[in-house]
Structure 1
Amino acid sequence: MSLHLPTIVFTIVNFIILLFILKYFFSKPVNKILDERKNGINTSIKNAKDNEEKAEISRKEKDQLLHESRSKGREIVEEYKVKAQNISQEIIDDAKKESNVIIERTRVEIEREKQKAESEIKKQVIDLSLILSEKALERHIDEAEHRKLIEDFIFKVGN
């Protein structure tokens, strides 16, 4: 194997010329493509980070809204629970008042009926006493005198 010096020199010169041609014609477009690709990748990474941050912010806002909604829901439930208890208590109080009014009316009515019955019984007792006393005495006394006698009798018996 022999090395030819002119061939080696020629190959090296060709290689250097090829490098200059490649650098002159292809270096800038390739570097431009590589830079664009690099910028695209960096932009994509930046967008991904921004989107991740936005997603995290949205998640935190959603969690906050969910927490607020739950709190508000609990407040509403408690508020309506208190209202329901108040309404229930009002209904119970009204029912008690009405039952007391009904009881009082019934007492008054019973007392009236009792007095009416007592009065009726006294009247019947007086009438019966008149009839009995007329038969017992076999004579007729005037009614005013007879009533006075009976009332005295009832008063004495009643005491």
Structure 2
Amino acid sequence: MMELNPSIVIATIINFIGLLAILKHFFFDKVKAIIDEREALINEQLDNAEEEQEKSRMLAIENERMLKSAREEGKKITEREKQKAESIYEEIIGEAHTEAKIILERAKIEINREKEKAEYELKKQAITLAIEISKKVIEKNIDEEKNRELIDNFISKVGS
């Protein structure tokens, strides 16, 4: 087997301790500072991520509330406009009924006028015919009984 040489072991330990001291003095603090800085950055990013996540959650809640509010407002507006439309519909129907009644009344008045006009024309023609009959009666010089009979016949025909 191999023998351990104490001077090599001591020299290796001294070299190791020296190297460790040099590395600690020049590199360990810088490496530790870089590691600490990186750790702080990561922690800061985690905190920012949590804050952003919380903000996102709050914005989502706010958006949902606004959306719900907008839907409710839309329903109210729709209902209001529907009521306005129904009111206008009822008003138009009422006006149409009123206009129809007015038109019917005018038609009745016009019918009565035409009826009166027709009756007047009929009476006028009846009078004209009576005059004509009277002329014929006088011309024929019929007796009184015949005159009465003719007049009664004429009146009964015109009266019915």
TM-score (norm 1): 0.82
Secondary structure at the aligned position of 1:2 is classed as coil
Aligned-partner SS, 2:3: coil
RMSD across aligned C-alpha pairs, in angstroms? Answer: 2.4
1:91-106 correspondence runs (5 A): 91-106=92-107
Partner Cα separation in structure 2 for residue 76 and residue 25 of structure 1: 75
The amino acid across from 2:74 in the alignment is: G
Q: CA shift at 1:18, angstroms?
A: 1.7
What amino acid sits opposite 2:134 in the alignment? S
Q: Which residue of 2 aligns with 1:29?
A: 30
Q: Render the CA deviation track for 1:14-42: whole Å, top value 9, x for unaligned.
A: 21222222212212111100000000111
Shift of 1:154: 5.2
Aligned length: 148
What is the match of residue 130 of structure 2? 129
Gaps of 5+ in 1: 141-149
- Counterpart of 1:145 in structure 2 is none
Q: Name the residue aligned to 1:84.
A: 85
> Which residue number in structure 2 is paired with residue 67 of structure 1?
68
Who is 2:17 aligned against? 16
CA distance in structure 2 between the aligned counterparts of 1:48 and 1:120, rounded to whole angstroms: 104
Identity across aligned pairs (percent)? 44
Q: Matches of 1:105 and 1:12 in 2, distance apart?
A: 131
Looking at structure 2, the residues matched to 17 and 87 of structure 1 have their Cα atoms a distance apart, in angstroms, of 101
Amino acid at match of 2:76: E
The amino acid that maps onto 2:125 is Q
Q: Structure 2 regions of 5+ residues with no counterpart?
A: 142-150
Where 2:4 maps in the other structure, the secondary structure is coil
Give 1:130 deviation, angstroms: 2.0
Give how far 1:12 is off: 1.2
Alignment deviations for residues 112-149 of structure 1 (CA, whole Å, 9 cap, x no partner):
11112112211211221122133224489xxxxxxxxx
Instruction: Give the structure 2 partner of residue 44 of structure 1.
Output: 45
TM-score under structure 2 length normalisation: 0.82
**Equivalent position amino acid for 1:131 in 2:** E
Task: Give, as a single letter, the amino acid of the residue that structure 1 aligns with 2:50.
Answer: K
| SS of equivalent to 1:44 | helix
Distance 1:50 1:154 in 2: 114
Residue of structure 2 equivalent to 1:7 = 8
